[in-house]
Amino acid sequence: MNSYNSNLPSARLPRLRRELIELHDEPLKGINVIFPHEDDMTIMCLILTPLQGPFHGIRLHLTVNVPENYPQVAPIVSIQTTVKHPNVFMGGYICADVLQEKYRSSRYYNGGYTPGYLLKYIFLQLLSFFSDKNIEQEGGYVLDFMDLYNLEPNKFKSDMKDLVKKFKCNKCGYNDIGTKHYINITPDSNEIEKFDIYGTPYNSQNNNFNDDRKENQIIKTSIKKDVVDLNDDCWLNIIEFLNERDILVLSTAYPRINALIHHYNILLRRQLICFYLRKTFTEAILGIGVKVGSNQSVEKRELIISEFDLFSYEAYRDHRLRSGIWGDSFTHFLPLVLSAVHFEKALPIIKTSLMNIRDYTEWKSELVLKTIPGLMSSMVVNLMKACDNNRQQSSAVIKASEKALQGYCLLLHLLTMLSNQTDQRRRFRHKTNTPNLGEFIIYLFLCRDINWKEFCTGFLEELLSRNVVWFLNKEASLAYIEPDDYISNYRLTKTFELSSTSLRLVMFQVAFLKMTQDMKNSQKNNLDKRYGYPTDEMSNSLLQLIKKIYQVNTWDVFFEMIDYDLFENEKNKIGWELKVLKLLKNAINDSLISGYHQMPYTLNEVYYLISRCEPGIPPSTSSLQRDNNNEEVITGLTFYPDQRSTRQNEDRRNNPNDYNT
């Protein structure tokens, strides 16, 4: 959590005013908020009326004090009515997770208050706190409320009413019959059904915070028109003044409104808001947090985006916000596109942010390709890691896939908008500038009139060549090149096994490319119309692709997944094994020519090694020894091509005693 600095401007009142307006517009059943002081909105009387559980039908009185450093810290809430509850202590202290300081005692717990929690959410959690008969305790075990006090429900409720009657509040009228706005501690059954008990959360006698809203109210007019005569602009203007609940009701009743909401992504648009200050993307510049590692050189520093919860540049700059909703820290602010207007306002800050992330003193367009594709690629890598670690936990995979897809699309939206601002320089797409092939796939998205299939063959050849050094260091016998007419099942299975992580990552990268390209070409749901966010259909498609990707265990299915046609322009499609073996052996030769690996073994030595793994494999030349049982091979030689590895190999050959097999 960010430490509070009294010299910084307070976010309390601006945030609180917006929250109270939201709470007023969308009243919550069972929750009544009253302000005892007309000129102070930071102190509230909170009346909770549980609609189920042990306190059903009994109004409870709590006080809420919003501290100066809110929303950085939780509001202070205590209960004044005496109640029997295992998590309520002397002085009205409530031991509720949502009110506690956020901490991370273990990797499995992420509880406590965060600035992303609104008052209405906290109030709902407290209502649930007093409505649940099963009480969770520290350590994970659960207490049954009635078993704990060994009382019958009716007896317990009777005792509670007697306890509750002992408290009265002359500020809000709770249990004080002498006040103007008397609040009975036990509403009757008829009152419970009335909306006004729960539907008006603020006492009208001191609704002072509403004064600023009068100018925003729809001006009443005597002009009447049929709703069918209203054009889309009129309806969109009306919708702006409705809360989400009313929008959903209206869209259900009137299909035209439902069509407008989906066409203009109204509900998505309403979620584009700073979680800290509650300002919208039309009022502030919104973005995400990036954590930049400090233990390496600038070019090699790790860039981490833990969450994609939106917050404002104002919160980052003026209020020193340095952690997200769930406590993940960040060092830099990166604005997002969201809309064309928002992008134009944010562009200077975007450039400054990229310069700060890479320690540049002046703007250079190369910063775009040096930063954003790498962040996008990390989304895919992190998703694959999450899938590898949580194969049996579908909820974890779903969460990871949604986060990865959302991050990928938002960053892609930023990348495409920034690319339109700079010159197209093909030299920055060459492999000498792109050591990461995952980033190369992302570059393809920026190329006009180019599709994946046109690049697939060249990409695949380069991928296989780059993988060679990794699998040879794990299994040196694969360096042997068998005759072209021999089907080596060992090579097929072992190479796939040793390259599986890399191949799986490519399948993920290609899947993301194809999905986002489809979105780019869509007239209905492109990135601009969706504010950079993916559609639900894309999320569902990704989950299905994840299942398919993890079922791939042979080369022919892998090639099918990445849209590579093994038999292009060939009628005979029998015998894919020989086609794949040719690709794999060519990759070894190409890798050696390109300097991606060196050959530390003789042909005789690798033939001996492969013969141990695949006894029936034929020699590639007549000069090879067929009987290699007595061949001595130095183990531990490396295929890395650098000079240090070469010296290491020479040392092992010169001192072979400890390395023979």
DSSP codes of every residue in 595-643: TS----S-HHHHHHHHHHHSTTPPPSSTTS-S--TT---B-------SH
The total number of structural domains that make up the chain: 2
- Polymer length in residues for the chain: 661
Does residue 154 share a domain with residue 116?
yes
Share of the chain above pLDDT 90, in %: 47
Least confident of 151-165, 350-364, 465-479, 529-543: 151-165
What is residue 625's predicted lDDT score, i.e. its pLDDT?
61
Least confident of 133-137, 345-349, 610-614: 133-137
The token pair that represents 559 in the structure block: 């090639």
What is residue 243's predicted lDDT score, i.e. its pLDDT?
84
Least confident of 71-85, 425-439, 590-604: 425-439
Compute φ and ψ for 378, nearest 5 degrees: -65, -30
Does residue 170 share a domain with residue 112?
yes
Summarised one tens digit per residue, pLDDT across range 302-322 is: 899 999 999 999 999 999 999
Does residue 135 share a domain with residue 36?
yes
- Domain presence at residue 612: no
Q: pLDDT-derived band of residue 222, with 50, 70 and 90 as boundaries?
A: very low
Residue 206 has pLDDT above 60, yes or no: no
Compute φ and ψ for 323, nearest 5 degrees: -145, 150
Q: What is the mean pLDDT of the chain?
A: 84
Burial of 207 (0-12, 13-18, 19+ CB in 10 A): middle
Does residue 247 share a domain with residue 205?
no
* Mean pLDDT in residue range 184-208: 56
Summarised one tens digit per residue, pLDDT across range 272-297 is: 999 999 999 999 999 999 999 877 66
Burial of 438 (0-12, 13-18, 19+ CB in 10 A): buried
Does residue 151 share a domain with residue 43?
yes
Residue 607 has pLDDT above 80, yes or no: yes
CA distances from 145 to 87, 139, 422 (A): 11, 17, 65
Between residues 126 and 153, which one has the greater pLDDT? Answer: 126
The token pair that represents 462 in the structure block: 């380069």
Summarised one tens digit per residue, pLDDT across range 66-88 is: 999 999 999 999 999 999 888 89
Query: What does pTM read for this prediction?
Result: 0.82
The token pair that represents 76 in the structure block: 């202070």
Domain end call among 161, 187, 211: 211
- Domain presence at residue 555: no
Q: pLDDT-derived band of residue 101, with 50, 70 and 90 as boundaries?
A: confident
Q: pLDDT-derived band of residue 26, with 50, 70 and 90 as boundaries?
A: confident
Residue 268 has pLDDT above 70, yes or no: yes
- Domain presence at residue 357: no
Does residue 193 share a domain with residue 137?
yes
Residue 630 has pLDDT above 80, yes or no: no
- Domain presence at residue 517: no
Half-sphere exposure of 363 (CA within 13 A, CB side): 12
Does residue 231 share a domain with residue 202?
no
What is residue 448's predicted lDDT score, i.e. its pLDDT?
64
Say which DSSP state 179 is in.
Answer: S
What is residue 523's predicted lDDT score, i.e. its pLDDT?
65
Q: pLDDT-derived band of residue 434, with 50, 70 and 90 as boundaries?
A: low
Q: pLDDT-derived band of residue 488, with 50, 70 and 90 as boundaries?
A: very high
* Mean pLDDT in residue range 430-458: 72
Handedness of CA 214, 218, 219, 222 (dihedral sign): negative
- The radius of gyration of the chain's CA atoms, rounded to the nearest angstrom, is 33
Domain end call among 188, 211, 234: 211
Residue 491 has pLDDT above 90, yes or no: yes
What is residue 224's predicted lDDT score, i.e. its pLDDT?
47
Least confident of 187-201, 265-279, 474-488, 562-576: 187-201
Least confident of 76-90, 161-175, 608-622: 608-622
* Mean pLDDT in residue range 96-116: 73
Q: Is residue 56 within 8 Å of residue 25, measured between CB atoms?
A: no
- Domain presence at residue 433: no
- Domain presence at residue 563: no
- Domain presence at residue 584: no
The token pair that represents 607 in the structure block: 């033939």
For residue 388, give every residue at least 6 positions away whose Cβ sits within 8 Å of its Cβ, in sequence order, or none: none
What is residue 204's predicted lDDT score, i.e. its pLDDT?
39
* Mean pLDDT in residue range 327-352: 96
What is residue 140's predicted lDDT score, i.e. its pLDDT?
62
The helix or strand, by DSSP H or E, that contains position 531, with its residue range, turns out to be: none
Does residue 65 share a domain with residue 106?
yes
Does residue 76 share a domain with residue 201?
yes
What is residue 520's predicted lDDT score, i.e. its pLDDT?
72
What is residue 455's predicted lDDT score, i.e. its pLDDT?
81
What is residue 572's predicted lDDT score, i.e. its pLDDT?
60
Q: pLDDT-derived band of residue 99, with 50, 70 and 90 as boundaries?
A: very high
Domain end call among 211, 239, 260: 211
Does residue 174 share a domain with residue 26?
yes
Residue 445 has pLDDT above 70, yes or no: yes
**CATH number of residue 18's parent domain:** 3.10.110.10
Owning domain of residue 241: 226-270
- Domain presence at residue 232: yes
Does residue 265 share a domain with residue 119?
no
Summarised one tens digit per residue, pLDDT across range 380-424 is: 999 998 888 877 677 888 889 999 999 999 999 999 999 887 655
Residue 435 has pLDDT above 80, yes or no: no
Least confident of 138-147, 237-246, 405-414, 470-479: 138-147
Does residue 102 share a domain with residue 198?
yes
Is 287 in a helix, a strand, or coil?
strand
* Mean pLDDT in residue range 254-282: 93
